[in-house]
Amino acid sequence: MRKKGSSGFMLGILFALSLAHGLNDAMQSLISAIYPLLKLSLDLTYGEIGLIAFTYQISSSVMQPLFGYAFDKKPAGWFLPIGLFCTMCGLILIAYAEGLFVLLVAVFISGIGSSIIHPEASRITSLASGGKRGLAQSIFQVGGSAGFSIGPLLAALFVREQECVAKFALLAVFALMALVPACIWYSKRLASHGAALYPLPGGSSQANSPSAGLPKRTVYTVIAILMFLVFSKNFYTVSFSNYYTFYLMSKFGVCIEDAQLMLFVFLFSAALGTLVGGPIGDKYGRRLVIWWSILGSAPFALAMPYANLQWTIVLSVIIGLIISSAFSAILVYAQELLPMKVGLVSGIFFGFAFGIAGISSAVLGKIADMTSIQFVYHLCSFFPLLGAVAYFLPRVRTIQSMKISNSQNAE
């Protein structure tokens, strides 16, 4: 008999969340895709571009854990539309900004939208997973990754001047329509079950989660390792999302439109890779996915600064496919360590990822101003090597042995 608070694998709900996630992230990635246009139209420096990215990422990173904690304590069915409304307002402000200050306000508001959407949608994704958390999180994440990849394509095809950005606020309307079934379903679950328990892999209970019976110090040490892996991954990938167009234009002399299309190619390959990591983690273990995803991309990252244009595109696709599968596995690994705090954990990891991206954007922008954008890519190529720290993540069997040992000691 199915326990109260559990549910089956809700593919329709997951698809709705993934679609809304994709439309939201398409609007978000449009912002970084038009950085070259904003730089020209408002006469910005690389450092100011980095400050804009920093402001956006910080508004997301600082607020996401707070929203996640609040959603865990006071769940409600209609937080997601509020987040989309913030994203829409930020995009409209960007379209008509005439200076750096208004741009900073606009991207801050957009960041608040993401800080609401990511932890809350992750909570609902966990509830709709039916215990297949890796697969569910991959479905949710692939929507965001696909949407994020579309932003540069939309910019290349339809954005010729700053005011054109406003028309893409319509994507928020479609996202709101997509979310209606998920919000209704979630509201009904809250009405009938209250703060429903989150299913674990194989339908196990909270008491049998990987963290049950483990010392808090062990759990927090593993969380710290996972956050360090997010740092190593995001410091490298932000060099693509925010500066890849500048790199292609500087090194190979391609035009803005072609550089945006090549950014789309990288981001789309990352979206495909996202879909793979979750199911493999469910079947073979998340540690294996995390290990391979970050460290496995290192040889290709090290080679890319020395490649010609054709090989740069090929290597970017390979890197995108490999490195993108890490985050879903990392997030679900952390959620299973603290299963009663899914919103908080999701907010912390999404927020930390966004925060690291913002800080690294500002740092890399300053480095590019002082040296060159090509030097930035030489520097960042070493960061995937830090994925070797995944070696210290405990295997599932190790965790289970520790649980048994702790149980026997208690007896």
Radius of gyration of the chain (CA): 21
Confidence of residue 17 (pLDDT cuts 50, 70, 90): very high
Contact 162, 38 (CB under 8 A): yes
Q: What is the pLDDT of residues 138-155, one digit of tens each?
A: 888 888 877 877 877 788
Owner of token pair 């394509």: 153
Confidence of residue 211 (pLDDT cuts 50, 70, 90): low
Q: How far apart are CA 231 and CA 242, in angstroms?
A: 16
194 or 307, which is more confident = 307
Q: How far apart are CA 273 and CA 289, in angstroms?
A: 11
Q: What is the pLDDT of residues 241-255, one digit of tens each?
A: 778 988 999 999 998
CATH architecture of 11-403: Up-down Bundle (1.20)
In this structure, of 35-49, 83-97, 187-201, 385-399, the range with the lowest mean pLDDT score is 187-201
Q: How far apart are CA 403 and CA 256, in angstroms?
A: 55
> What is the average per-residue pLDDT within 380-396?
83
| Per-residue pLDDT at 56 exceeds 90 | no
DSSP conformation class of 394: P
Instruction: Give the 3-state secondary structure of residue 7.
Output: coil
Six-digit token pair at 55?
A: 């402001």
Number of C-beta neighbours around residue 256 at 10 A:
19
> What is the average per-residue pLDDT within 88-111?
91
Domain ranges of the chain: 11-403
Q: How far apart are CA 91 and CA 169, in angstroms?
A: 6
Q: How far apart are CA 14 and CA 16, in angstroms?
A: 5
pLDDT score of 315 = 95
Instruction: Give the 3-state secondary structure of residue 8.
Output: coil
pLDDT score of 305 = 93
> What is the average per-residue pLDDT within 389-406?
59
Quote the pTM value: 0.69
Burial code (b: 16+ CB inside 10 Å, e: under 16) for 289-320 equals bbbbbbbbbbebbeebbeeeeeebeebbbbbb
Confidence of residue 395 (pLDDT cuts 50, 70, 90): low
Confidence of residue 410 (pLDDT cuts 50, 70, 90): very low
pLDDT score of 213 = 53
DSSP conformation class of 382: T
Per cent of the chain over pLDDT 90 is 16
> What is the average per-residue pLDDT within 69-95?
86
pLDDT score of 70 = 83
Q: What is the pLDDT of residues 122-132, one digit of tens each?
A: 888 888 888 78
| Per-residue pLDDT at 188 exceeds 50 | yes
pLDDT score of 254 = 92
